[in-house]
Amino acid sequence: MKYYIGADIGTTSTKVVLFDETFQNLDFVSKGYRTYQDKAHYAEQDPEEVFESFLQAVEELLNRHEEKREHVTYMAFSSAMHSLILMDEKDQPLTKSILWSDSRAEELVEEFKKREDAGAFYQKTGTPLHPMSPFFKLLWFQKNTDLLKKTKKAIGIKEFIMRKLSGEYVVDYSIASATGLFHLQDLVFDEEILQELSMVPSQFSRPVDVEEMFSLKNLEALSRTKLPSSCKVLIGGSDGCLANLGGDVTEPYEAAVTLGTSGAVRITSDRILLHPEGKIFCYYLRKGQYVLGGAVNNGGNVLAYLSGLFYEHPDHFYRDLSKNLLESEPGAEGITFIPYLYGERAPYYDGHLFAGFVGITPRAEKKHFIRAAVEGIFFNLKEVLTEIERLHGKISLLKVSGGVFENHEMASILAEVMGREVQRVDAASSSSLGAVRLGIEGIRLNTKKKEMFLPGDKALQYEENFKRYQKITKAVVRLKYLLDEED
């Protein structure tokens, strides 16, 4: 029996999972690390701490499975997108690992969007114009420091780990396609974009395909993990793209919807599809497959905020959630919730958008505000899905995961709001599984029967409510820009 390790390098922890050759999840270990927010808008991690957490996780996992250790064929990697580390001539970090959520480049992005050629950058790369993009992180360093002059390589966190393990600076096409620097069609770092930064392709890692294998050369890693010298390292891809592969979201009629603290809607396409207004990302999954979608800032974090407003004991909010939803009707007594409490990525990519309840009357009760909030969060996801369908065509099945959908009533309402079948799936290790799957062709996943939710007679009413929501959100966006002009 052969075994495989899938490692998912996330923004709060690294999770390593042991799979057998039928892709059964046998065990996992997760190790967290600190995020440094030393200044406003900063979000950074120590790359050495991340690497140490990875090694500790692999050690602990294999110590539990001594008899399987020598049969581990390869380790495959998934990682979060949009990180940036500047490395000096001695291959030492000049910076910490700057996360996607670091927003120090926000003002630069707003200025950049005013350029006539701004849209061309998205059309080349598939990466939306947003502070998360490493292109804008590098632009910030160019304009505010002299570090780029000292930079031998500009890399992401997975590249840092791959360098440690293999001795090479390599980046997979999937991670590279989310940097805002990489030509999605030609699969090279775009020299015209790099000229904006006064940088050259040699300052970036060598791009390789996601199935590329490397030898494990790090003696410390071999000693601590006691992996066989024959064990290879498969470079893998990005977490969002591999979640589609690991979650078996590969048919043209399917979309993955995740909703935890934040959320996302993603589909898999057999071709590059780019939004005329840059509202949808398009990233490389593997040869002949791309992942389109949009990530949203506002999900379970909005409910967590409201739980503290409506309840003295916030946990009672979740205890009563189903009851409040069942005792209120669609439309929430005329209240529409605009969910941009934490700004928004897709579809507006504006960190300064704000939230609000519209349509409050004296008839409104607590349960109506709670239902309106849930509907607003789901309408936001539907806006993203609508933009995807403009490019791709109709989606009929949503495979949903995340803590929010553990509540039965929430999954049921989503089916009504979206007007589509909803299938609740377990996606806890889907990115790690997707990474491992890259190395083995022709083996199908063992699929278990999943719980389904079907849209019912309320779907038409929700469609009308969605049109109202769209009118109000457009008005809110216009209001925000009017207020900005006055300032």
Neighbours of 214 (CB within 10 A): 18
- Give residue 232's pLDDT: 98
Selected residue with higher pLDDT from 394 and 445? 394
Lowest mean pLDDT among 21-25, 150-154, 362-366, 386-390: 21-25
Provide the percentage of residues in the chain whose pLDDT is more than 90: 95
Average pLDDT, rounded, for the chain:
97
486 pLDDT more than 80: no
447 pLDDT more than 60: no
Residue 384 exposure: Cα atoms within 13 Å on the Cβ side: 29
Strand partners, 75: 5, 233
423 pLDDT more than 70: yes
Ordered by start, the domain boundaries in the chain are: 3-242, 296-423+457-486
- Give residue 267's pLDDT: 99
Which band of pLDDT confidence, cut at 50, 70 and 90, is reported for residue 427? confident
DSSP per-residue letters across 259-313: ESSSEEEEEEESS----TTS-SEEEEEETTEEEEEEEES-SHHHHHHHHHHH-SS
The contacts of residue 185 (CB under 8 Å, 6+ apart) are 124, 272
Which CATH code is given to the segment(s) 296-423+457-486?
A: 3.30.420.40
Identical fold, 3-242 and 296-423+457-486: yes
457 pLDDT more than 80: yes
- Give residue 17's pLDDT: 98
Provide the percentage of residues in the chain whose pLDDT is more than 70: 98
442 pLDDT more than 70: no
CA distance 389 to 214: 38
Which band of pLDDT confidence, cut at 50, 70 and 90, is reported for residue 444? low
291 pLDDT more than 60: yes
- Give residue 156's pLDDT: 99
Lowest mean pLDDT among 155-169, 222-236, 318-332, 435-449: 435-449
- Give residue 428's pLDDT: 84
Which band of pLDDT confidence, cut at 50, 70 and 90, is reported for residue 306? very high
The DSSP 8-state label assigned to residue 343 in this structure reads B
Which band of pLDDT confidence, cut at 50, 70 and 90, is reported for residue 467? very high
- CATH 3.30.420.40 assigned to domain 3-242? The reply is yes
218 pLDDT more than 60: yes
